[in-house]
Amino acid sequence: MSALYITIIAALILLIIFLGLLAWAIVSGQWDDLETPAHRILLEELNENRK
Amino acid sequence: MKIENSSAALETVKFDDWIARAFLWATMIWGLVGMLVGLLIATQLIDWRLNFDLPWLTFGRLRPLHTNAVIFAFAANSFFAACYYSTQRLLKTRMYSDLMSRIHFWGWQLIIVAAAISFPIGWTQGREYAELIWPIDMAVTIIWVIFTVNFLLTLWIRREKHIYVAIWFYIASILAIAMLHVVNNIQLPVSWTLSYSVYAGAQDALVQWWYGHNAVGFLLTTPFLGMMYYFLPKAADRPIFSYRLSIIHFWALVFIYIWAGPHHLYYSALPEWLQSLGMVFSIMLWAPSWGGMLNGLYTLRGAWHKVREEPILKFFVAAVTAYGMSTFEGPLLSIKAVNKISHFTDWTIAHVHVGALGWVGFMTFGMIYYLIPKLWKRPIYSRSLANAHFWIGLIGILLYAVPLWIAGVTQALMWLAMDDQGALVYPDFMETVKSIMPMYYLRAIGGSLFIIGVLIMLYNFLRSIAGVKCSELVDTEIKAAHFSTVKPEDQISELFDKEGKPKASFWKQVHRLIEGWPLVFSAIALMALMVGGLVQIVPMILVQASAPKDIIVRPYTGLELLGRDIYIREGCYNCHSQQVRPILEEAKRYGPASKAYEYMYDHPFQWGSKRTGPDLHRVGGKYPDLWHYRHLEDPRSVSANSLMPPYPWLLTANLDISNLETRLKVLKKLGVPYRDQDIEFAKEDLEKQALEFSGRLNKDGGVKNSEKKEIVALIVYLQRLGKDAQSDSVLKLGESQ
């Protein structure tokens, strides 16, 4: 079952990348505010220039 | 509000709306094409004559066209449309490179056309949802790299610091698919249209379903969850119920999904511990999936009156509910005891289509109706028609899934039925097929209704955009301030003046456009290195480990190999499995359970995942050569209720042995122990074996001069199946692997 070397290593590489992204996001304050993002997307049209 | 600080000055940003429109066109057109192919193959199961006796239209060659079209043409283009539209708005920036966007678009459509041409011809790798031949696989890799680089650079130049949850779903999808595509498609070419997978047998099965389930997860689930998190709140004008939950279930999903693959391989030659691992992770997957469903549905709290009025919300609610159903059914089917019944039956097909039609389909339709006014600046022509689409489509989904649930369980129970004496109640496979024919009729009606809904949508769309002039379709423009980590010279707005005319010189624009290309080329180079490296390393790892002690299996002879490649070309794995499970009832019907070592030289594996016809792994020696000859010429001459199309061209087409040595050499490189004389005298050995066969066929059935025909190779291969577990080619039997 040595294909497991391939699949597990590939999955682990992906896992490490995702863990890295997770760590970066936490440290850089991405989720310090969990309230406004949900509302912000509803206000996009206010920024639009009407022609 | 004016911000005096120059690093936070408001700028004009124009979004690339053309690319979103382009991907929406592609979604609709390919959706219709893919679904029509699906309808054709569904009717072929009802009436075999709809194969039209043509090699290009057989079920075996068209089913991969259907699956690839709906996954990579319909679902993927829908993902791209959602991604390009919402990413720009969520990050408040235009895509990094318009050129990369367009290369992505046109490149992807060309890939789809290539697939549509290659599959009916019979150019296939014979592995589910990864059938594309290697040159097209390369194209997919290159286009995907360009998409990834463009997307990541767009993230880099964003003006909105917070990365909204939908973008996280897109990131996960893009990165995971890149990894899956490369790892699963490692193969050594024999010619431009033929290659052998580096993996063999049980190993290949593992890699294939590691890929296969993750393709479901990261192409059909995460992109559409991203879609849901943007379009559902926008359409309902309601914020997501719990943003916190969205983050949590995203990460849980991403970390758990990758390990679920073995649930496609229960009771197979895959090691027991691996099967159990897959089961545990598959069941755990229920929780984060329902996190998404609940979040979506709860978002509509206080807005359910809108669902009554608005077709878009109807589609989204049904889609999210279908998602919940699929992600409950999936873990259910991943329980080994349940899988014992469901595997190889239409229950799997029903499960797939609840997700495909309900979740992927309805999310896409809701998004399309939402985007038509936004992107074409016209209201939907008819709300009633949109409502009609919803109801007709919904009934279509029910008429698709419910009959197949019934068919799946019915057929499974018939396969397993044993009487008091321990004999099969339904020893004749065809009896089980006959019993589910009414359900196949209903399924075809269900699918037709779903397509009628799509046609209604297309009509509505074309009426809505009638009279729109190209000059009206200007890019959406917003004012936004960047946050301090983004340098001014990276911003697109530098290139446009107040009237939207480009400010910069031609050369500055060229420079701007090619800035990202070194990154693209580096990424392509990295991919090439990875692939090259893997192609070298992987065989080494696999070959040494796959030869078990005390067991010697004779590799396929040249003639048997060509027959196997014909089996793959005709797509036989779409209806026939080659995997006898260690289940009592199956031993009664087919013979001893299949062992891992029997597949050790199968590049690629052909276990199949559906039994429209019986399992073939122990068919070797069961029927005389003449039976197979007649069966392939006209299945109903030996098997009364057969659904199988006839294969008359196999009887008349000459076997192409021109690249026989190359095939053997490539397989030898992949570890199959062909000796030098096997390769040197390959053609002679083949002719000898073919002549012996045709002599027998002449003696038994009066069939003359068959030795040069393709059918000889195919029958010789079929007669080989399952023989390796007996004393024929096994010189010394030891423990199983």
User: What does the mean pLDDT of chain B come to?
Assistant: 90
Counted residue by residue, chain B has a size of: 737
- Tell me if B258 and A11 make a contact (CB, 8 A cut-off): yes
Counted residue by residue, chain A has a size of: 51
Q: How far is B353 from chain A (nearest CA, A)?
A: 27
Residue B639, pLDDT score: 92
Residues of B in contact with A30 (CB under 8 A): 162-163
Q: How far is B235 from chain A (nearest CA, A)?
A: 9
Residue B3, pLDDT score: 38
Residue B522, pLDDT score: 63
Quick check: B593 and B582 in contact, CB under 8 A?
Answer: yes
Q: Parallel, antiparallel, or unpaired: how do β-strands B10-14 and B477-481 relate? A: antiparallel
Quick check: B448 and B392 in contact, CB under 8 A?
Answer: no
Taking domain B17-472, whether its CATH number is 1.20.210.10 is answered by: yes
Domains held by chain A: number: 1
Quick check: B285 and B321 in contact, CB under 8 A?
Answer: no
Query: What element of type H or E holds B286?
Result: helix B286-298
- Tell me if A1 and B270 make a contact (CB, 8 A cut-off): yes
Three-class SS of B359-407: HHHHHHHHHHHHHHHHHHCCCCCCHHHHHHHHHHHHHHHHHHHHHHHHH
Quick check: B319 and B391 in contact, CB under 8 A?
Answer: no
Domain range summary for chain B, segments of one domain joined by +: 17-472, 558-725
Q: Binning pLDDT at 50, 70 and 90, where does residue A29 land?
A: confident
Quick check: B212 and B170 in contact, CB under 8 A?
Answer: no
Touching A: B residues 423-482, CB under 8 Å: 474, 476-480
Task: Residue B71: name the closest of B212, B230, B278, B170 by CA.
Answer: B212
Using CA coordinates, name the residue in chain B closest to A25.
B163
Residues of B in contact with A44 (CB under 8 A): 89, 478
Residue B261, pLDDT score: 87
Is B197 at the interface with chain A, CB within 8 A? no
Q: A12, A15, A26, A47: best mutation site toward chain B, by most B Cβ within 10 Å?
A: A47
Is B235 at the interface with chain A, CB within 8 A? no
Residue B369, pLDDT score: 98
Residue B723, pLDDT score: 86
Residue B737, pLDDT score: 32
* Structural domain boundaries enclosing A7: 2-50
Q: To which CATH superfamily is domain B558-725 assigned? A: Cytochrome c-like domain (1.10.760.10)
DSSP state of B723: G
Number of A–B residue contacts, CB under 8 Å: 101
Phi and psi at B551, nearest 5°, equal -120, 125
Residues of A in contact with B199 (CB under 8 A): 3, 6
pTM tops 0.95: no
Cβ-in-10-Å burial (0-12, 13-18, 19+) of B225 comes to buried
- Tell me if A3 and B477 make a contact (CB, 8 A cut-off): no
Task: Residue B72: name the closest of B102, B103, B115 by CA.
Answer: B115
Residues of A in contact with B234 (CB under 8 A): 41-42
Q: How far is A5 from chain B (nearest CA, A)?
A: 8
Cβ-in-10-Å burial (0-12, 13-18, 19+) of B485 comes to exposed
Structure tokens at B524: 């392509």
Q: How far is CA B57 from CA B44, B61, B136, B227, B279, in A?
A: 10, 7, 21, 35, 37
Is A9 at the interface with chain B, CB within 8 A? no
Task: Residue B10: name the closest of B493, B396, B514, B359 by CA.
Answer: B493
Q: Residue B13: beta bridge partners?
A: B478
Stretches in chain B below the pLDDT threshold 70: 1-8, 484-551, 726-737
The angle subtended at Cα B185 by Cα B180 and Cα B186, nearest 5°, is 115
Residue B647, pLDDT score: 97
- Tell me if B171 and A5 make a contact (CB, 8 A cut-off): no
Is B245 at the interface with chain A, CB within 8 A? no
Phi and psi at B197, nearest 5°, equal -70, 145
